[in-house]
Structure 1
Amino acid sequence: MNKLPISNLPKLYHQALPEITLSLPLFFIHPPKSGGSTVRTFFDLNLGSNQFSDFLWNRPRWNNCKQKFSISKFGGGHFSFGYHRALKMAVNYTTILRDPLARQISHFHYARSGKNGEVSQGVPISLMEAGAMRGDISIDEWVSESYDDLNLFTKMVSGHPNPDTTSLQVAKNNLRAHFLAVGTCEDMSSYLLRLCATGGLQMPFFVEANRAHPKSPVSPVSDAAKRKFLETNRLDVELYTEASTLIAQDEQSYGPAFADALEQVKQIQRQINSMPNPHVHDSFAFGFNDEHLSKVRTFIKDCNLDAIQHFLTQAREAKYHGRADLYEGHVDGILDGVVRGWALNFTHPAEAVHLKVVCGDRVVATGRTGEPRADVQAAGYDTPTSGFSISLPKNMVSPEEDLHVLIEGTSNRFPSSGPWRLGWHLA
């Protein structure tokens, strides 16, 4: 396993904190207008500038960005759960959510301001955001019609592009199984303190960034628009409630040391918030001011950090529970009663993947990987024997029944897992 290079991080504590060994990089899922730019300042405070890998699909030299991510072990972007498939590696995930209605209103003001003026500097904008910027879309329309996205959190945490009630359950399972920490914009300090405990970082502090710049006043959102938004985004409302419950359980599990540390974090954070801040309306698109972040680090160094240090020491000495394994695969087809495809375990590439074929609530066949697949290995995956062939018992499945190929012992599915019918793919 690769050790997180804590020795290279800024030394701010009087005594060295116990090192935490992480075998996987940490990927930050950044939902728009949920405090993610502020979280980015947390990473820059801890890692230094240009160490966090900001992933963009259209970014030149994407492979260089991936290589940096493999070395620094910290990165992220506006991407959904499942980005490990594009990276072709196992990762730990983390994310921050926000009250869905508050996020939608904030997004309107952000779009209306031309993304704090950064649209004029080349930052991309959607058609709906452009409409709000021109004044063609009112705040009531923006909220009631759920403009720019619907059930955004469920979409990003589940990895399902068109979320439904099944996606909500997947998103809930993912939060428990694959996220080192989840936070809310409403309590940034709790999130960053817990992320320091599990992610091996030292400073649970931030510099507020990318707050929507006020333009001219607008009318308040009508109650009717709010009601419609909450109804059509009920998946996100339920997921936000679930995340809040998980956070409360996480905080309680750490015991009284967490509460003492959190109070100290918030006291120091209030003083940081009172400092002149050049980034309050800036995104990370053009980087952060190293001189300002250096001043914040120097200020933190002079603070009493005893309660924080005590908590992090206690948390890191406790047994660390890793996240569930991550998988990838593909069903090539069902022909002559045999299901063929490939699958692999990103977290433990050398291990065989155990599979089952289900029809409704019946398991009709099982199998495992172990066949050579040179094409899969040539595509950049580390497992040479990822292939599988699973024979279906005769007369147990009719041509009208749906089949799914699932991974044993996990809710993970790969995109082509089903539904299938004998001889052809239904989806």
Structure 2
Amino acid sequence: MSFPTFFIHPPKCGGSTVISCFDLNKGNDQFISFVWDQDGWGHCRAKLLETQVGGGHLPYGIHRIIKHPVNYCTILRDPLSRQISHYLYAANGKNGQITRGVSVSTPEAMALQVPKGKAHISEATRQRFIDDNSLDYELFRDANRMIESYAKETGDVFSNALELVRVIQSEIDQLENPHVYSATVFGIDGSFLARVQEVIRRFDLAPINTYLEFAQSRQRPRADVAGAGYPSLQSGFSISLPDGIPDGFRATAANSTESLHNAGTWRQGWHCE
């Protein structure tokens, strides 16, 4: 059993391109966007379970809201670059979407009031931002370290695919992008995507296909996961317990009246929510 993929979409990190990748590979109208100010999640949940792909400007935890497990994915960007991009996007009226009724947050409304012009960021301001957002930068650096480590571990099979992606991307960058969006969360205009597909078809995608096959081959089921009754490696986690601990117990916080969030029964070393 495979779980739906949910894309956590941080603003101004290339998320529209990610959604367009889903469109290219899964077909148009398959990706369901969870809109943050929409009443209820019933329709979004049903669509996600049907198409298996969705996402939105939401934090981790949507699986608890819709009462169904999901596989999460996201995309990261240098925090200051992301912040500047979001400011310029808001100051520009969200590519014209504000005039079409797209919602505006308080910080975005403030950006609209700032006189237009090229902004300059001093080195002191830049450093203060880095200091004030140190945890974001640590996460960003940690993600880069994970990629570097993965590249060393997998060798040419990954680096060859990545190099081809960069070559293809450089060709795509030469296209005249109309910057026309159906909405801020719905990806790139379909006619432009068709031109992107034409560029991609000019290349031999063997290195990318080889990497995908390699990556999929490494997703083997674990015996301890299957033995505990879970369908995938991402379904839970195991811990070593002292000898003699009975099966089917519940974990609690010692010397506290507080209960653990969503604490369910443990069986065969696995937590059941």
Give the shorter-chain TM-score range.
0.7 to 0.9
- 2:60 equivalent to 1:81: yes
- 2:132 equivalent to 1:232: yes
Q: Which residue of 1 aligns with 2:203?
A: 303
- 1:313-332 correspondence runs (5 A): 313-320=213-220, 322-325=232-235
CA distance 1:354–1:93, shift in 2 (3 Å): farther
Which amino acid in structure 1 is aligned with residue 64 of structure 2? R
Deviation at residue 323 of structure 1 after TM alignment? 4.2
- 2:117 equivalent to 1:216: yes
Select the residue among 239, 244, 248 that pairs with 2:144. 244
Partner Cα distance (1:312, 1:274) in 2 = 26
Select the residue among 23, 28, 32 that pairs with 1:44. 23
Deviation at residue 282 of structure 1 after TM alignment? 7.2
Q: Which runs of 5+ in 1 are unaligned?
A: 2-22, 137-214, 328-351, 360-396, 415-427
Note the alpha carbon deviations across 1:108-145, whole angstroms, 9 max, x for none: 11111111221111111112211111117xxxxxxxxx
Q: Which residue of 1 aligns with 2:111?
A: 132
Partner Cα distance (1:319, 1:285) in 2 = 30
Select the residue among 59, 82, 87 that pairs with 1:108. 87
Q: Which residue of 1 aligns with 2:76?
A: 97
The answer to which structure, 1 or 2, has the higher relative contact order (CA under 8 A, 6+ apart) is 2
CA distance 1:285–1:311, shift in 2 (3 Å): closer
Deviation at residue 233 of structure 1 after TM alignment? 1.3
What SS class does the counterpart of residue 129 from structure 1 fall into? helix
Q: Which has the higher strand share?
A: 1
- 2:172 equivalent to 1:272: yes
- 8 A Cα contact 1:29 1:93, kept in partner: yes
What SS class does the counterpart of residue 324 from structure 1 fall into? helix
- 8 A Cα contact 2:90 2:109, kept in partner: yes
TM-score normalised by length of structure 2: 0.80
Q: Which residue of 1 aligns with 2:240?
A: none
Q: Which runs of 5+ in 2 are unaligned?
A: 222-231, 238-246
Partner Cα distance (1:413, 1:111) in 2 = 43
- 8 A Cα contact 1:34 1:97, kept in partner: yes
Partner Cα distance (1:280, 1:268) in 2 = 22
Q: Which residue of 2 aligns with 1:356?
A: 251
Partner Cα distance (1:243, 1:297) in 2 = 29
Partner Cα distance (1:305, 1:79) in 2 = 33
Give 1 or 2 for the bigger CA radius of gyration: 1
What SS class does the counterpart of residue 94 from structure 1 fall into? strand
Note the alpha carbon deviations across 1:29-78, whole angstroms, 9 max, x for none: 01112221121111111122111010014336742222121121110001
- 1:166-205 correspondence runs (5 A): none
Q: Which residue of 1 aligns with 2:3?
A: 24
Note the alpha carbon deviations across 1:194-253, whole angstroms, 9 max, x for none: xxxxxxxxxxxxxxxxxxxxx6322x1122222222222111111111222222223333
What SS class does the counterpart of residue 251 from structure 2 fall into? strand
Q: Which residue of 2 aligns with 1:290?
A: 190
How large is the Cα RMSD of the aligned pairs? 2.9
TM-score normalised by length of structure 1: 0.53
Note the alpha carbon deviations across 1:152-201, whole angstroms, 9 max, x for none: xxxxxxxxxxxxxxxxxxxxxxxxxxxxxxxxxxxxxxxxxxxxxxxxxx
Q: Which residue of 2 aligns with 1:167?
A: none
- 2:69 equivalent to 1:69: no
Q: Which residue of 1 aligns with 2:99?
A: 120
- 8 A Cα contact 1:28 1:76, kept in partner: yes
- 8 A Cα contact 2:20 2:187, kept in partner: no
CA distance 1:268–1:234, shift in 2 (3 Å): same
Which amino acid in structure 2 is aligned with residue 314 of structure 1? F
- 8 A Cα contact 1:52 1:72, kept in partner: yes
- 8 A Cα contact 1:90 1:326, kept in partner: no
CA distance 1:243–1:282, shift in 2 (3 Å): farther
Partner Cα distance (2:33, 2:3) in 1 = 17
- 8 A Cα contact 1:272 1:296, kept in partner: yes
CA distance 1:357–1:48, shift in 2 (3 Å): same
Which amino acid in structure 2 is aligned with residue 253 of structure 1? E
Deviation at residue 89 of structure 1 after TM alignment? 0.2
Identity of aligned residues (%): 39
